[in-house]
Structure 1
Amino acid sequence: MTWHDVLVVVLIMAVAAGIIPVLAGLVQYVLVPVHAVRNHLGKAGPYLPRVVVVVPAWNEGAVLGASLERLMRLQYPPDRLRVYVVDDASTDDTPEVVLGKAEQYPGRIVHLRRAQGGQGKAHTLNHGIEQALADDWMQALLIMDADVIYRPDSLRRMTRHLADPEVGAVTAFIREGSGKPGTVSRFIGYEYVTAQAAARRAQNVLGAMACLAGGAQLHSRANLEAVGGRIDTSTLAEDTFTTFLTQLDERRVVFEPAAVVLAEEPDSVDALWKQRLRWARGNVQITRRFSDVWFRRPFSARGAGHRLSGLTFGAIWFSIYLLPVAMTAAALGLVLLYFVDREVARHTFEAFWWVAVITYVFITVCTLLLDRETARRSWLQGLLFPGIGSLVVMLAAWVPGLWEERVPDLLGIEVSSLSIEVMTLIFYSWSLIAMLGAWVIRAVERLPAGRWPSRVLLYVLGFGPMLCAITIDAYVKQWRGASAQWDKTVKTGRVVG
């Protein structure tokens, strides 16, 4: 084998690295239908434990009243539900809102005021959890966000899983519920179906859950005490940390898709970036903190009795965690391969994007069918999730010569060989171009009158590539040791339940 052949093989392997996350996503969706026959409902049963709801709140006056009112209207015995609102030294009318509701529902809503605020969500939660564990009344504890709206039957659908003593925690489906969602919110709504309604069904099947939704975490008292009676404060992903600890202690974490919780999500690129940067940095921290778990079963004593160390779950986790790396490797591999062997590069490009086309069609159709309510609101964002640019590249792989010959012939345009080369290199490197373009979208949005141009760019470059760009930003900030603070996402009360 010559050096030329070796180089070609290496570059093809680089491109193949980009296919792995695509296939991992496909595997998750193949598992979704299995959830109909392999789920936890067989071990669930009517169970209505005494539940304490802990609501962390810092300047949530605009949204807290509606959330508390809906909690009071849950289809759950009133004498078995108490709400502790932990006021993190708010400077708005949050105390007045809570005290007003506490007077309206005496004994059911409790206002807990922290004298010192600003330490982050985990510290605020721990204040409430400490109070809840101080007496024997509480049998289960629900952690939620101040802005979310629980549908009437959601809590009892979650508690039924705690009838099984092997279950330590249950989470719900967080659905974007803004009354008039904008472009970014609609993209998030579609993404939540993929990341929750689909992915967590698959994780139920695998028996390994990646994360309890931050706004919907139901813990049994036994589980809460077993994980230390408090939430971890050393990471930006306290919900994921607790999810892993629960499973490492050999208790199940279950996703209940029929329990729907509505939330208001960011509708600006900048707000989205700040939120997801926190989440992505948290995942970097979690990946390192649990380095002795990945792919170790059965060789790690710590891994006995859970499935976090399984090959499939690990592949799914790292496919998401390293997705930007894989996409960059694929793009650079194709570009370099173009200069080494153009014929091999063309076939590799077509094979790579053919896999992407099949996966895109399958996942998009399944997602839109999985949650019809979100599909009605976000069908366009679902179709354009990878970006118009990626769809153009998919067509280039699906119909060779389409953009270089067929379209120009149809329009009567002559395309030079240089233009074809430039077009080819753009196609080959598009995944990298789209990720880098996310910074441009954010910069444009910050300009005067930049909102609409930024939305056009978002449709062209894609929401998926933007999430990859945010993950890259998280890598860099974590490597540089940048300040890891909990940035609050501002909510305005747009949820309509």
Structure 2
Amino acid sequence: MVDILRDVLVALLVACVAMALIPVVGGIVLYGIVPFHAVRSHLRRAGAYLPRVVVLIPAWNEAPVLTASLERLMALEYPPDRLRVFVIDDASTDDTPAVVGAVAERFPGQIVHLRREQGGQGKAHTLNHGIRRALADDWMEALLIMDADVVYRPDSLRRMTRHLADPRVGAVSAYIREGSRRPSAVTRFIGYEYVTGQAAARRAENVVGAMDCLAGGAQLHSRVNIEAIGGQVDTSTLAEDTMTTFMTQLDGRLVVFDPSAVVLAEEPDSVTGLWKQRLRWGRGNVQISSRFRRMWFRPTRQHRLGSFLFGFMWFAIYLLPFFMTAASVGLIGLFLLDELLATWMFQALWWAAITAYVFITATTLMLDRETARRSWLEALMFPGLGFLIIMAAVFVPGLWDERIPAALDLQLGPVAVTAWTLLLYAWPVLSMVCAWGLKQLERAPGGRRAVRFLIYLVGYGPVLCAVSADAYLKEWQGAAQVWDKTEKKGTVAA
């Protein structure tokens, strides 16, 4: 009986470790799909189309960034008589009204300042105020939703509107690239992440035929689509852009990503700012996953959101903190029951991880050469020095506990070797704990300077996983849904 229970426990622990292969396989599959975008994209059905576009810019205390954004909109390679800009001022307390007024005087009739006297309800409510105004007459044919700090390249809107020539398309997403003049370490990591999450992932989603999220700061909708989803965006979730994306596709219209429509945005330059932004996104994804629970893995001819492949890619990322925790628990448990099996599972898991890391990193750097020049170090250090040490331990067996100590004329005892082994097995969980520690350290005097270096040790990936875990916890606790705006400083290199 004891042997049977032991075998069952070992099998469960092996399954825990094996689950960690899901995000690894998910990454390889996603990047394996990317090349097919060259032959399976929507460009073949796009055409010359210049609809009358209303641009909505929700703004709360955005004075530092609005001038550059508005001036670049007015400089777009787009007919001026077919473009109107509504700045929805969410009861700003800074110079936002004066800034908008000064630019509007230079472009009469093209820029409209819409003031909300009751602010603080969140971005979705602010957008709906502008949408109602845009739908009040028949002038608008397409609606562009953007953020106040986003700077559009001259040809970006034309590249987006061409897809609306196909009546099956409901919405189009541009490629948001991090564009700060002097990016910090965190900002450079975000720049690289955006290549993986947009230039790569959304190309793959174009091929699959299902999109997870329109870029919140660069999403273009046909009027038909806006009216079909109720003439407003959802206000019950923190992920109104993802909700709109899903509703569009569930109603039978396509959502398209155009990687050549590039816009530049300012992103957080600290772990604290990143945490605040991604906690909101993470909680939104938890809400979306629950809201559409009857859709997952249920294929239908009307849309591809229920396909196995899309669901696999979604949950491989969504459940990443769980998979990392399961791997550590499984390996430590196996070490206590069957040390040889634990070693074999550890090496098998990490050889797969090494393969995915090399493949994904190399492909990502080739997808966006401009970002690669700025963030090549962050690409290499994305998982953190801790995970690179683990990869080295697998690539060269005995490197850290035998070869290097021998080269230094040191000899590690059994206790030290066991402690080192358990540290390697536990690092996926410990890295998330350390990521939370970075957030706390950043608040201390001089902490921000230390975090600039320590984030390379802990890794940007573990920081994102820690935020996701925090999002699960906040949703489970029923914490208040607060729209915590990311502070902008006007650092985009317009």
1:306 paired with 2:308, answer no
Residue deviations 1:117-145 (CA, integer Å, cap 9, x gap): 11100000001010000000000000000
Output the CA distance in 1 between the equivalents of 2:453 and 2:55: 41
Q: 1:345 aligns with which of 342, 359, 375?
A: 342
Residues 303-382 of structure 1: pairs in structure 2 closer than 5 A: 304-382=301-379
Which ranges in structure 1 are unaligned for 5 or more consecutive residues? 299-303
Q: Distance in 1 between matches of 2:424 and 2:397?
A: 12
Determine whether 1:52 maps to 2:49: no
Establish whether residue 172 from structure 1 lines up as the match of residue 174 from structure 2. yes
C-alpha displacement at 1:271, in angstroms?
Answer: 0.7
**C-alpha separation between the residues in 2 aligned to 1:30 and 1:346?**
29
Residue identity in the other structure for 1:310: S
Matched AA of 2:29: V
For residue 10 of structure 1, report the CA deviation from its aligned partner: 1.3
1:153 pairs, out of 144, 152, 155, with 155
Q: Find the residue that maps to 1:181 and give its secondary structure.
A: coil
Q: Give the structure 1 partner of residue 491 of structure 2.
A: 494
Aligned residues between the structures: 492
* Structure 1 letter corresponding to 2:343: R
Aligned-residue offset at 1:296: 1.5
Q: Write the distance in 2 (CA, Å) between the matches of 1:459 and 1:140.
A: 43
What is aligned with 2:403? 406
How far the C-alpha of 1:17 sits from its partner, in A, is 0.5
1:386 and 2:388 aligned: no
Matched ranges for 1:62-81 at <5 A: 62-81=64-83
Q: Does 1:453 align with 2:450?
A: yes
Following superposition, the deviation at residue 25 of structure 1 comes to 1.1
2:324 counterpart SS class = helix
Task: Give, in angstroms, the shift of residue 399 of structure 1.
Answer: 1.5
1:325-359 deviation line (CA, Å, top 9, x unaligned) = 01100111000100000000000000001100000
Structure 1: how far apart are the matches of 2:334 and 2:211?
39
Corresponding residue number in structure 2 for 1:242: 244
Write out per-residue CA displacement over residues 364-421 of structure 1, whole angstroms, 9 at most, x where no aligned residue. Answer: 0111111000000000011000000000001111211111111111121111111100
1:100 deviates by 1.1
The answer to whether 1:288 aligns with 2:290 is yes
Find the aligned partners of 2:7 and 2:93 in 1 and give their Cα distance.
Answer: 67
Report the counterpart of residue 30 of structure 2 in structure 1: 28
- DSSP 3-state at the match of 1:429: helix
Alpha-carbon separation, structure 2, partners of 1:371 and 1:115: 42
More displaced stretch, 452-461 vs 415-424: 452-461
Instruction: Name the counterpart of 1:94.
Output: 96
Match status 1:421 vs 2:423: no
* Pairing of 1:210-249 with structure 2 (within 5 A): 210-249=212-251
One-letter amino acid matched to 2:438: I
- Moved beyond 6 Å, runs of 4+: none
SS at match of 1:171: strand
**How many angstroms apart in 2 are the aligned matches of 1:430 and 1:450?**
23
1:395-452 per-residue CA deviation (whole Å, 9 max, x = no partner) reads 1112111111111111211111111000000101111110111111111111101112
The separation in 1 between residues aligned to 2:52 and 2:410, in whole angstroms, is 73
Which runs of 5 or more structure 2 residues have no equivalent in the other structure?
Answer: none
Matched letter for residue 375 of structure 1: A
Mapping of residues 433-472 of structure 1, within 5 Å: 433-472=430-469
CA shift for structure 1 position 453: 1.6
Q: Which amino acid aligns with 1:481?
A: G
Q: Which residue of 2 aligns with 1:83?
A: 85
Alpha-carbon deviation of 1:307?
Answer: 0.3
Q: SS of the residue aligned with 2:257? A: strand
**Residue in 2 that maps onto 1:187:** 189
Letter matched to residue 19 of structure 2: A
> Residue 110 of structure 2 aligns with which residue?
108
Taking the aligned partners of 1:47 and 1:215, their CA distance within structure 2 comes to: 22
CA distance in structure 1 between the partners assigned to 2:341 and 2:452 by the alignment: 37
- Cα deviation for residue 472 of structure 1 reads 0.5
Q: Which amino acid aligns with 2:443?
A: R
Distance 2:107 2:233 in 1: 28
Alpha-carbon deviations, 1:90-120, whole Å to 9, x = none? Answer: 1111001111111110010001011111110
TM-score (norm 2): 0.99
Q: Secondary structure at the match of 2:20?
A: helix
Alignment-derived partner of residue 15 in structure 2: 13
Query: Could you tell me which amino acid in structure 1 is paired with residue 478 of structure 2?
Result: G
> Which amino acid is 2:222 matched to?
S
Question: Which residue of the other structure, out of 201, 204, 210, is the alignment partner of 1:202?
Answer: 204
Partners of 2:457 and 2:276 in 1: CA distance: 22
Whole-Å Cα distance in 1 between the matches of residues 12 and 121 of structure 2? 48
CA distance in structure 2 between the aligned counterparts of 1:455 and 1:108, rounded to whole angstroms: 43
Find the residue that maps to 1:2 and give its secondary structure.
Answer: helix
Question: Matched residues in 1 for 2:56 and 2:315: separation?
Answer: 32
RMSD between aligned alpha carbons?
0.8
What is the CA–CA distance in structure 2 between the aligned matches of 1:443 and 1:57, rounded to whole Å?
Answer: 30
Counterpart Cα distance in 2 of 1:42 and 1:496: 33
Q: Which amino acid aligns with 1:222?
A: V
Quick one: distance in 2 between partners of 1:262 and 1:232? 26
3-state SS of the aligned residue for 2:216? coil
Match of 2:276 in 1: 274
Task: Write the distance in 1 (CA, Å) between the matches of 2:24 and 2:444.
Answer: 35
Query: Which deviates further from its counterpart, 2-11 or 185-194?
Result: 2-11
| 1:6 Cα deviation after fit | 2.3
The residue type paired with residue 408 of structure 2 is L
CA–CA distance in structure 2, aligned partners of residues 454 and 217 of structure 1: 34
Once the two structures are TM-superposed, the CA of residue 147 in structure 1 deviates from its matched residue by: 0.5
Q: 2:393 aligns with which of 376, 393, 396?
A: 396
Please list the CA deviations of residues 226-269 of structure 1 after superposition, one character each: whole Å capped at 9, or x if unmatched.
00000100000000000000000000000000000100000011
Secondary structure in structure 2 of the residue aligned to 1:460? helix
Q: How does 1:468-483 map to 2 (within 5 A)?
A: 468-483=465-480
SS at match of 2:86: strand
TM-score, scaled relative to structure 1: 0.98
CA distance in 1, matches of 2:12, 2:117: 59
SS at match of 1:119: coil
Structure 1 CA distance for aligned equivalents of residues 173 and 406 of structure 2: 55
